[in-house]
Amino acid sequence: MSVETVRNYFNTNKINKEILEFPVSSATVELAAQAIGTEPARIAKTLSFYSREKDAAVLVVTAGDMKIDNGKFKQFFGMKAKMLAPEDVEPLTGHAIGGVCPFGNPDTAKVYLDLSLQRFQTVFPAAGSGNSAVEMTCEELYQYSLALEWIDVCK
């Protein structure tokens, strides 16, 4: 299970955060917000795109109410935004659809955080499964996800 990958990642890196596991699905922004009892915007959704070479994932974590701006994405990354095909999600991110998160990914996956998250004290990224999340500050998310930088690629 991918949530075990995140749990092991947290333990290995001495990250003391409780992984919340729900009896219901949290696989979408709306479902996660309902399961947690928060507003959808505070869900830190991880969007997975192909790298330029199409052999790795570029993970962009945004606020739950945001959408990627294709022009900004292309300007920043120098390529068109192309989301991973369903069959490539788990091999390139280490997590199944619904549980993709910025923790415990393969070394080839590169994580970026969108500035849209910074309006919140805490946010809730998934924790590796379609029924899990973890609450953390934006600084903790940046540190624990090994994000490369804060970027502005949303509308």
CATH code of residue 81 = 3.90.960.10
Residue 1 has what pLDDT?
58
> In the structure encoding, which two tokens stand for residue 6, read together?
């995140």
Residue 114 has what pLDDT?
98
Structural domain boundaries, residue 20: 2-151
Coil/strand/helix, residue 24: coil
Domain count, the chain: 1
User: Which residue is listed with tokens 């930088």?
Assistant: 149
Alpha helix (H) residue ranges in the chain? 2-12, 29-36, 70-77, 86-93, 138-145
Pairing of strands 132-134, 110-114: unpaired
Residue 2 has what pLDDT?
87
Residue 23 has what pLDDT?
95
pTM, rounded to two decimals: 0.96
Question: From the first residue on, what is the mean pLDDT of each consecutive set of 10 residues in the chain (155 residues)?
Answer: 91 97 95 97 98 96 98 97 97 94 96 98 96 98 98 97
